[in-house]
Amino acid sequence: MDLDDLQLGPERRAMVETVRRFVQREVRPSVRALEHADAYPTALVERMRELGLFGMGVPVEYGGLGLDTQAYALVFEELSRGWMSLAGVLGTHGILCHLLARFGTESQRSEWLPRLASGELRGGLALTEPEGGSDVAALRTTARRDGDAYVLDGAKQFITNTHEGSVFAVVARTGGAGAGGLSAFVVVKTPERAATLIEGAPLKKLGYKGLKTSSLTFDGCRVPEGCLIGGEEGRGFAQVMSGLELGRINVAARAVGVARAALEDSLAYAKERVTFGKPIIEHQAIGHKLADMATEIAAARHLYLAAAAKRDRGERCDLEAAMAKLFASTMCTRATLEGIQIHGGYGYTDAYDVERYYRDAPLFTVGEGTNEILRTVIARALARRDP
């Protein structure tokens, strides 16, 4: 990817280039050992904090970098080129920052955004439930008003940053059935809440190693009324849908990053590996695979940047974000499988990174809305348009 082709200001360009150097010099040399050990990358996360990446989407006046969506997404592509799990540390953290920056009261923004931007607080999103995640309007977790507080009861599943994170955006039902009955809360983990905010055991996953994912159970978890995002009940569905638009751009960018790593590794291998007296890149079957990978990666990047640009203009981008995430995630599953094919038998071993890319890729097809749901989102958006 040539940054000269993108309309980035000097500060945004410098940030993307800084992250690219960080990935090349510090992430890629250490990722294989960390991933195979399923070890949390404490030192790398600390370096991300030093670089200010926890505050990418936080406005400057609250201590963040104030990156626009395009630069924000490009950083996620670069991080995922190094290790998708590392980008995952920042993914739902960024959604929480977005919810507070866009919908929070001034008191909420002042209290939490500076601490999120500095990395003192590490955020997550508690949305999905054991009974389902795609049907957000039917969520069952409740938040009952009790004096000057709310009491939360229910269970959430597949929560990233459950153990290392310290604060979560929790979507719960404060009213009747349907989307209008949902509200979003900021819930901070504290020793006093340990008995009512319960972390489940980390799930064993195909990929996405090094980053714990588990359930969160709320059993009479009491939070002050000031934790209701925006200070008004019934706004949670619209708030979280806005957050998911950003999340889908984020996932599309991550998918491009992983696919790009598969392409770069496969291209290097194809130039070195010799069969029938010549490098395998000179065999048409291999060359065509690389050509398709490069073309589809470029197309996916254009899709997510277009969605990001629309969001930066203050326009709704549900259609564009869904298209970007759908195409990029599907592309990534193909590209990583082609990477294994190009590497042959070696690609199926853990001696090469392409097997990791292949294991990580399926997450993109189910994260931030399954691809089946996104096709429905896209179709409905098209139906709303004028002929």
| Last-in-domain residue among 118, 150, 179 | 118
Question: Are residues 254 and 283 both part of a single domain?
Answer: yes
The β-bridge partners of 38 are: none
Annotated catalytic residue within 245, 338, 355, 368: 368
Q: Which domain holds residue 229?
A: 123-234
* Model pLDDT for residues 104-127, shown as the tens digit of each residue: 999 999 999 999 999 999 999 999
DSSP run (H or E) holding 343:
helix 318-343
Query: What are the tens digits of pLDDT across the range 315-329?
Result: 999 999 999 999 999
Here the CATH number for the domain that contains residue 301 is: 1.20.140.10
Q: Are residue 229 and residue 245 in the same domain, yes or no?
A: no
CATH number at residue 88: 1.10.540.10
Contact by Cβ (8 Å): 317, 310 = yes
Read off the pLDDT band of 4 (50, 70, 90): low
| Position 386 confidence tier, pLDDT thresholds 50, 70, 90 | low
pLDDT of residue 199: 95
Contact 200, 214 (CB under 8 A): yes
For residues 282 and 305, membership in a common domain is answered with yes
Q: At residue 8, does pLDDT exceed 90?
A: no
Is residue 244 located within the same domain as residue 371? yes
Total domain count for the chain?
A: 3
Q: What is the pLDDT of residues 341-382, one digit of tens each?
A: 999 999 999 999 999 999 999 999 999 999 999 999 999 999
Confidence of residue 385 (pLDDT cuts 50, 70, 90): confident
Residues 183 and 298 in one domain: no
Q: Is 368 designated active site?
A: yes
H helical segments located in 23-136: 28-37, 42-50, 69-82, 84-103, 106-118
* pLDDT score at 3: 64
pLDDT above 90: residue 213: yes
- Residues 215 and 272 both lie in one domain: no
Shared-domain flag, residues 150 and 189: yes
Are 203 and 187 contained in the same domain?
yes
Residue 218: which CATH number?
2.40.110.10
Asked whether residue 375 falls in the same domain as residue 247, the answer is yes
Same domain, 226 and 242: no
- Model confidence pLDDT, tens digit, residues 72-108: 999 999 999 999 999 999 999 999 999 999 999 999 9
3-state secondary structure of 32: helix
Domain termination site, one of 177, 210, 234? 234
CA distance 275 to 56: 46
pLDDT, residue 197, reads 96
| Residues 256, 199 contacting (CB under 8 angstroms) | no
Residue where a domain stops, chosen among 187, 209, 234: 234
The pLDDT-based confidence of 189 (bands split at 50, 70, 90) is very high
The Cα–Cα gap between 352 and 337 comes to 13
Of the listed ranges 100-114, 133-147, 323-337, the least confidently predicted one is 133-147
Report d(CA 206, CA 166) in Å as an integer: 25
In this structure, the answer to whether residues 241 and 366 fall within a common structural domain is: yes
Q: Do 26 and 72 reside in the same domain of the chain?
A: yes
pLDDT confidence of residue 387: 59
Q: How far is residue 91's CA from residue 246's CA, in Å, rounded to a whole number?
A: 9
| Cα–Cα dist 310/321, whole Å | 9
Mean pLDDT of the chain: 95
